A and B are shown apart, each in its own frame.
Chain A
Amino acid sequence: MTGLNLTSPHVTGRTSVSWVMGWVLLALVPGWIVLIVSFSVGYAINMVLALLTALIAEALLLAWRGRPVMFFLKDLSALVTAALLALALPPLAPWWLTVLGTMIAIVFAKQLFGGLGNNPFNPAMVAYALLLVSLPLYMTTRWASPDFSLPITDTLAVIFAGQTPIDGATGATPLDVYKLDISRLTSAEVLQSPIFGSWIAEGWDVANLAFLAGGALLLWKRIITWHIPVSLLAGLGMMALLFSGDADVRTPIDLHLFAGATMLGAFFIATDPVSAATSNRGKLVYGAGIGVLIYLIRTWGNYPDAVAFAVLLMNFAAPLTDHYTRPRVYGHDKSVKGFKND
C-alpha cells in the first residue's frame, strides 16, 4: 500500500468519451448503409475521405497546439464530426469538397476554438454551411438520383477525376424539387416525379427511418436524452401542421419529417452536446427552436434543406437559453433564472 491520499468518489462508471463517440458512430451505420444502397457508393467514398482527412487534420492540429495526439485521437470525436459531414454532403460531389469541408470542420470549427468540448458551434454544420454558401452549385446539384444506378467506375471518375456526371444520374433533393415545382403544379403532379417513389421520397424515407432507429439506439444506451429529438420533431411537426395544411401550397409534413436530413439532424446533429443547451428544459427550448427554424428556412428561405442553419442559429442561442432554463434545485422554492443571484 502506498497510502494514496484520495478523496471521494473512489469509484467511477465504465463509460468514456470514446465509448460515447463509438456508439454514435455505430448508430450512424444503418442510415449510412441505406444511403449507399439507395443512392450511391459515393457515400462510402465520402466517408473514407472524411474520416482520413479528419484524423490527419486533428493529429496535425493537436501536435501544433502541443497536446497529446494519441490521447485525443482515441476519443473518436474527430471521426464523429467527419462521419456526420460525410453523411450530409452530396454523394457525387468532387473529392476536394469533402476534404475541404472536413478540414474546415476540424481545423477552424473545432481545434481553433480549443478542441473537443470548447467549440460553440457544431463543427460538421459549420463546414456544411460554409460549403453551401460558397459552392452552392456542387452542394445542390450533385445528389444522386435513386432511380439511376451509376456504375462504380463512373462514380469514381465523377468524384476524383472531375468528370461531369451523366444526365439523370444527379439532381436536386426531393425537398428542393417539391418546393420549386409546387409553385406551378399541384401536389399530385409534383409527386408524379420518380424522385418521390412509391412512399414518401424514394430512398430518403428509408434512410430517415434508419437514422431514427440509430437514434433509438442512442436513447436506449442513454447517450442522448429524448429532449432534443422529441422537441425538434415536435417543433417542426407543429409548424408543418399549422402552415402546410394544404399540400398544393407548401411541402407537407411527411416530406418535412422523412424526405430531408430531419432524422439525422434530430438524433445526431442537434444532439451534439458540446454546442447544445445543457439543462433538460434548455434542451427542450433548443430542440423546438431548431425544429421551428428548419421549417421557416425550408419554407421561406432560399436553401433546399435547413438543418445546418437551424442548428447553427440555435447554437448561438444555447448559452442564453441555459441561463433561463435552470432546473429548480432540491429544497428551493423556484429555479434561479438569469445572470444574477438574489
Chain B
Amino acid sequence: MTAQAVIVTDKVFSLKGGIHPDERKTLSNTTPIAEVPLPSVLVLPLTMHLGAPADPVVSVGSTVRKGDVLATAVGGISAAVHAPTSGRICAIEERVIAHESGLPAPCILLEADGEDDWRARYGLPNWREQPVDELIQRLRDCGVVGQGGAGFPTDVKYRNKHKPITTLLINAAECEPYITADDRLMREHADEVLQGAVIAKHLLGASTIRLGIEDNKPQALVAMREAAGHLGIDLRISVVPTKYPSGGERQLIQLVTGQEVPRGGLPSDLGIVCQNVGTLASIYRAVVFDEPLISRVTTVTGEAVDAPGNYEVRIGTPIETVLNQAGVHLKKADRVIMGGPMMGFAIPDITAPLMKTTNCLLVPTRKELPRPMPDNPCIRCGLCEQACPVNLLPQQLFWASKHRDLDAAELHSINDCIECGACAYVCPSRIPLVQYYRYAKGELRNEQEEQIKSERARARFEARQARLEKERLEKEARRKARAKAAAEARAAKAESGSGEPDAQDDAIKAAMARAKAKKAGATQNTAEPSREDLEKALELAATKVKKANERLLVAEQESPAMVPALRKALTKLEEKHATAQAALENAAHGEPTRTEVKKETDS
C-alpha cells in the first residue's frame, strides 16, 4: 500500500453540438459479465487491427497451446494474433469476416481441443524493474490493440515520442447508446483498468492519469474511485454530461482539457495519450501475467435478444455462437450490428468471428430500429449544423457530396468529419448524410491516388525522354570523333606522300588512330562520373545496407531460415558501399579515377 491517493474532480469544458439519442443502456448493464463457452472452431482473421495484416507463423496441422503466437505483426503498425485456446490449426483460408465490405479475408482456423492448456507465461509483476522498451515490445508481442473501436495497435502509441507526454487520459465515456462493456468492466475490474493505467503512465513518462467518464455510469465511477483509493493511484476525474459523441477521442479531450487536437495532428501534440478502459485492462494482463489479447468483454444487446448483457468472449468465436448464448430471435431482426447504433455496421454474415474490436453486438427488432425511410429534400433547416460536434456545415457538405463537387467538399473540410452521425440523427428530412460524406471522401481518395499515379507516369515519361536524348547526343559525339580521326588519318597519309616503306607504316598508324578514336568514343560513353553521381551512389549504397540490416534483424527474430541468405546479401552490399565510398574519396582528393588511369595506360 502506497501513500494516500489524491483523487480530484476536475471541471468539465463544453462540447459543441452533439445529440441525446435513447441510451438503452439498462438493457444490458444490470447483469454481471458472463462467459461464453469455448466454441469447437475459432476463426482468427489476420486483420483485427488497423495496419498491416499479421503474418501466419503456424501451418495447417500444427498444434498450439493457449496464448501461442499464430501470426506475427509485420512492419511498424500491425498486431500479432494469438491462439485463444489450445488445439490444432485446421485451416488457413479466406473466410467472411465482420467488415462493411462483406469480402472474405484470410483467417487462421483453430480447432479447440477442449484442454484450454496455457503456454508457459512469464508475467512481470515487478514490471517497474524492466526497461520501458521491453515492456512496449511485450505489448506488441501480446497483440494488444485499442478496444474502443478502431483497433489501433497499442504499442505504437508508446513508441511515438515526437512530443513529451504529460497525461494519460482514460476514455471511459462510452457514449454510444446500448453499449455497456466498459461500464461493466469498470464495475467489476476497476483495479485491472487502473493498474493498466499506471503501467501506461510509466511507459509514457506521463505525470497525470485522468479519467473521462459520462455521468450515466455512477456505479462504474464509484468503483474506479474506490479502486484508485485502495491502490493508492492519483486520479483526476472529469464527469462529462451524457451526450453523444463525447466518447470520441478528440471530443473527450476537448471536454476534459478544453483544448482541441490540431488539424492533422494527434492527441500527443497536446501531450495526451488516450486509452480505452478495455485496452488498459489488456495492457495490465499482458505485462503482469503475460496474457495476450485473446478474449474481451462484448455487449450483446437489443430487443431481439433474450438475455442482453455483457459476455467475456474468446476472440475468434463465431458471432452466431455468441448470439445463441444470449438467446437471439433472428426472425424479429433484420440486421445484426457490430458496434453501436450510431457508428456500428450491419454485419454481412453471422458466421463471421468476433474480433478484438467488437465492443457490441446489437440485434434490434424491426420496430426498435426501423429501416430507413425515403428521404425528403433538404430544407436547409440547419439542425445538422447545431448538432455537429466538430463545427462543420453538414448541409453544405451534403450539397457538395450530392453533386460530387469535391472541391467544395474539401473547402468545407470534409476530411475533418468524424462520421459520428449526429447530423443524420437530427435531420428532419432523414437524409443519409453520413453515407453521402463517405461517398465524397472515397471519391476524394480515389482522385488523390489518380493524381499520384499520373504524377508518377509523367516522371517516368520525362526520364525516358531525357535518357533517349542523352543516348542521341552520345551517339552524335562518337560519330564526330570517328569522323575526326578518319580525317586526321587521311591528312597524315597525304603528308607522308606515297613512299613504299612508309605506306605500310601509315596504314598501321591510321589503324592505330582509328582504334584510338574508337576508344575515345567508348570512354566518352562511360564518361568520368561526376562528384554528384558518386555521392548519390554512396547514399544509395548506404540506405541499401541499412535496409538489409533491418531485414536481417527482423529475420533473426521471425524466420531464422532466411538469415544466412540475408547475411550474404548484406556483405555484398557492404562491399559495394565501401567501393562507392572509395570512389568518392578519390574524386575528392583529385586523384585519377579508374577510367583516367586506364586512358593513360591506353596511350
Interface residues of A (CB under 8 A from B): 1-13, 15-17, 19-20, 71, 75, 77, 115-118, 222-223, 225, 273-274, 276, 278-280, 283, 322, 326-333, 336, 339-341
In the bound complex, residues from chain A placing their C-beta under 8 Å from that of B261 are 330-331
Per the CB 8 Å criterion, the residue count for chain B at the interface is 71
Contact A6 B345 (CB under 8 A): yes
* Contacting residues of chain B (311-351) with chain A, CB-CB under 8 angstroms: 330-331, 333-337, 339, 341-346, 348-350
Closest B residue, CB atoms, query A332: B263
Inter-chain CA distance A49–B590, complex, in Å, is 102
Contact A225 B386 (CB under 8 A): yes
Inter-chain CA distance A31–B322, complex, in Å, is 59
Output the least CB separation between B345 and chain A (Å): 5
* Contacting residues of chain B (534-580) with chain A, CB-CB under 8 angstroms: none
Inter-chain CA distance A223–B381, complex, in Å, is 8
Contact A12 B419, CB 8 Å, known A116-B376, A225-B386, A330-B391: no
In the bound complex, residues from chain A placing their C-beta under 8 Å from that of B393 are 278-279, 322, 326-327
In the bound complex, residues from chain B placing their C-beta under 8 Å from that of A330 are 250, 254, 260-261, 389-391, 416
Q: Which of A116, A329, A333 contacts B391 (CB 8 A)?
A: A329
19 further A-B pairs in the complex, CB-CB below 8 A; given A11-B21, A223-B381, A341-B411? A9-B434, A10-B346, A13-B426, A13-B427, A20-B379, A222-B383, A273-B381, A273-B382, A279-B393, A280-B385, A322-B396, A326-B393, A327-B385, A329-B416, A330-B261, A331-B260, A331-B416, A332-B413, A339-B411
Provide a sorted-by-A list of 27 A–B residue pairs whose CB atoms are within 8 angstroms: A7-B434, A7-B435, A7-B438, A8-B342, A8-B344, A8-B434, A10-B341, A10-B364, A11-B22, A11-B369, A12-B430, A13-B425, A13-B427, A15-B428, A16-B376, A77-B379, A116-B376, A116-B379, A223-B381, A273-B381, A274-B380, A328-B391, A329-B416, A331-B263, A332-B413, A336-B411, A341-B407
Output the least CB separation between A283 and chain B (Å): 8
Contact A340 B411 (CB under 8 A): yes
Contact B100 A7 (CB under 8 A): yes
Q: Which of B374, B378, B424 contacts A12 (CB 8 A)?
A: B424
Q: Which of A16, A330, A336 has the most CB of B within 10 A?
A: A330
Q: Which of B334, B343, B390 contacts A1 (CB 8 A)?
A: B334
Q: Which of B100, B382, B386 has the most CB of A within 10 A?
A: B382
Interface residues of B (CB under 8 A from A): 19, 21-22, 100, 102, 177, 250, 254, 260-265, 330-331, 333-337, 339, 341-346, 348-350, 364, 369, 371-372, 374, 376-383, 385-386, 389-393, 395-396, 407, 410-413, 416, 419, 421, 424-430, 434-435, 438
Contact B428 A20 (CB under 8 A): yes
Inter-chain CA distance A12–B376, complex, in Å, is 14
Contact A10 B380 (CB under 8 A): no
Inter-chain CA distance A326–B391, complex, in Å, is 9
Inter-chain CA distance A7–B391, complex, in Å, is 23
Q: Which of B374, B407, B410, B425 contacts A9 (CB 8 A)?
A: B425
Contact A276 B380, CB 8 Å, known A9-B434, A329-B390: yes
In the bound complex, residues from chain B placing their C-beta under 8 Å from that of A279 are 382, 385, 393
Contact B419 A278 (CB under 8 A): no
Inter-chain CA distance A89–B434, complex, in Å, is 42
Q: Which of A222, A328, A332 has the most CB of B within 10 A?
A: A332
In the bound complex, residues from chain B placing their C-beta under 8 Å from that of A11 are 21-22, 177, 341-342, 369, 425
Contact A10 B411 (CB under 8 A): no
Output the least CB separation between B443 and chain A (Å): 16
Output the least CB separation between A135 and chain B (Å): 30
Contact B380 A273 (CB under 8 A): yes
Contact B342 A9 (CB under 8 A): yes
In the bound complex, residues from chain B placing their C-beta under 8 Å from that of A15 are 383, 426-428
Inter-chain CA distance A5–B203, complex, in Å, is 41
In the bound complex, residues from chain B placing their C-beta under 8 Å from that of A17 are 376, 379, 428-429
Closest B residue, CB atoms, query A2: B334
Inter-chain CA distance A3–B330, complex, in Å, is 10
Output the least CB separation between A128 and chain B (Å): 21
In the bound complex, residues from chain A placing their C-beta under 8 Å from that of B265 are 331
Inter-chain CA distance A1–B335, complex, in Å, is 6
Inter-chain CA distance A223–B383, complex, in Å, is 8
Contact A331 B250 (CB under 8 A): yes
Inter-chain CA distance A278–B380, complex, in Å, is 7
Contact A1 B333 (CB under 8 A): yes
Q: Which of B177, B331, B343, B376 has the most CB of A within 10 A?
A: B376
Inter-chain CA distance A263–B471, complex, in Å, is 82
In the bound complex, residues from chain A placing their C-beta under 8 Å from that of B379 are 17, 20, 77, 116-117, 273-274
Inter-chain CA distance A1–B372, complex, in Å, is 16
In the bound complex, residues from chain A placing their C-beta under 8 Å from that of B334 are 1-2, 4
Inter-chain CA distance A77–B376, complex, in Å, is 11
Inter-chain CA distance A31–B524, complex, in Å, is 97
Inter-chain CA distance A271–B494, complex, in Å, is 104
Inter-chain CA distance A241–B393, complex, in Å, is 35
Contact A278 B385, CB 8 Å, known A1-B331, A4-B346, A331-B262: yes
